[in-house]
Amino acid sequence: MNTEAHPLTVLSEDENMFKDMVYQFGEEKIKPLTAEMDHDAQFDKDIIRQFFELGLMGIEIPEEYGGAGSSFFMSILAIEALAMIDASAAIYVDVQNTLVNNAIMRWGNKDQKKKFLPLLASEKLGAYSLSEAGSGSDAFALRARAEQKEDYFILNGQKMWTTNGAEADLFIVFATVDPAAGYKGITAFLVERDFEGFSTGKKEDKLGIRASSTCELILDNCQVPAENVLGDIGKGYKVAIETLNEGRIGIGAQMLGISEAALRHGIQYSREREQFGKPIADFQAIQFQLADVATQLEAARVLVYNAAHLKDGKKSFVKEAAMAKLFSSRVSEKITSQVLEIFGGYGYTKEYPVEKLYRDAKIGQIYEGTSNMQLQTIAKFLLAD
C-alpha cells in the first residue's frame, strides 16, 4: 500500500504546462485590453474567438463531439489562470465549462449532445439563466411560465442576472410548467438566440467584473421545440441544483486567480516602494501581511482543488464545493483589501490594478449562491445524521 502523501496543490507536469499556457495567453492577449474593457464594460469578442481556438470552451466535452475530452480539474486550472489576468475573461470560460457544457453532458439526450456539444466546443457561447427579479436565493420561486402545446412550449417571463447574456448563442432557461406543483414544475429548456419571442434586455452596469455581460432575458411567447427540453419535464430543479454544485467550484477558482494576482502585485510593490530609506518589504508589518495573505490563499486553493478532484473522482462533493466557494470568496475579498492597503493611496486609484481586483472579488460571495446559502448547505450535511 502506497502511503506517500502528495499535497493537493502540487500539479503534475501536464497540469502545470496547461495552466502556464493559459496564463501566458492571458498575459499576451488579454492583459493589454483589461483596463479598457473594464472601463467600457465590454469584452473583446476576438478574445472569445481565441478561447474557442485554444480549446478552452470545451475542456470536458468528449473528443467525439469536438472537445478536448479532459477533466473538470483542468477546467478549474484554466479558470484560475485567466482570473489572474482578468476575472471577466475567466467568467466566459467558467460558465461555458462548469455550467452549460456540464449540464448538457449530464442531462442532455443523445440528439441534444450531438447537436449542441460540437457547437459549444467550437463556436457557440452558452449562458445559464435561472434567476428572476423575485427569485434570488429562493431560486425556485420562478414566475417564468412554459405552456406546452403539441410539439413545442411557449415561454413567457423575464430572467435576470444572466452571465454572458449579451454574447451567448444558447441559453439554458428555467421556467415552470405548473406553478401549483412548486419546484416540481420547474423545467429546463435549451433556448437558441434566434428563437422567435426571445430577446435580451437591460445589461447591468456593475461594480466589478464589468467586462463580463450580465443581462435580462425577455421571453415573449417564445416558441421552444419540445425536443429542446433538457432533462425530463418537471425535473429542472435537479438540473439546476446539480449544475450549480459544480459551478461553485468554478467560482472558487475565479477567487483563487484574483487572490493570486493580488498577492503577486503586493509582493512586487512592497519591493519597489521605499519609505524611510528602504523598501517597505523590509518592514515586519508588511512581511506579516504578505505571509498572512499567502497562507489564506493556500488554504483556499486546497479546498477548491479538493472539491474539483472529488468531482472528477465521481465522489460526493456538494459540501466540499460549498466550503470551497464560501472560503475562497471570503478570502479573496480580504486578500484584495489587505493588498490594496499595502499600496496606500495609490491602491485606491485606477493607476494600479489592485482596485479592480478588489471590485472583482466581491461578486464571489453573491453569485451562484450567496455565502449564507453555502453555510446552509454545509450545515445540512453536518446535521444530516
Give the count of beta carbons closer than 10 Å to the beta carbon of residue 180: 7
Distance of CA 39 to CAs 42, 195, 305, 336, 350, Å? 8, 32, 32, 19, 10
Residue 198 has which C-alpha cell? Answer: 426571445
* The one catalytic residue among 60, 132, 333, 368: 368
- Nearest-angstrom CA–CA distance, 122 and 170: 13
Closest CA to 251 of 342, 370, 381: 370
Residue type, 290: L
CB of 138 closer than 8 Å to CB of 175: no
- Number of DSSP helices (H) and strands (E) in the chain, helices first: 12, 10
* Catalytic annotation present for 320: no
Q: Which residues of 199-229 are buried (b: 16+ CB within 10 A; e: fewer)?
A: ebeeebebebbbbbbbbbbbbeebebeeebb
Instruction: Select from 280, 269, 381 the least CA-distant residue to 326.
Output: 381
Q: Which residues are catalytically annotated? A: 368
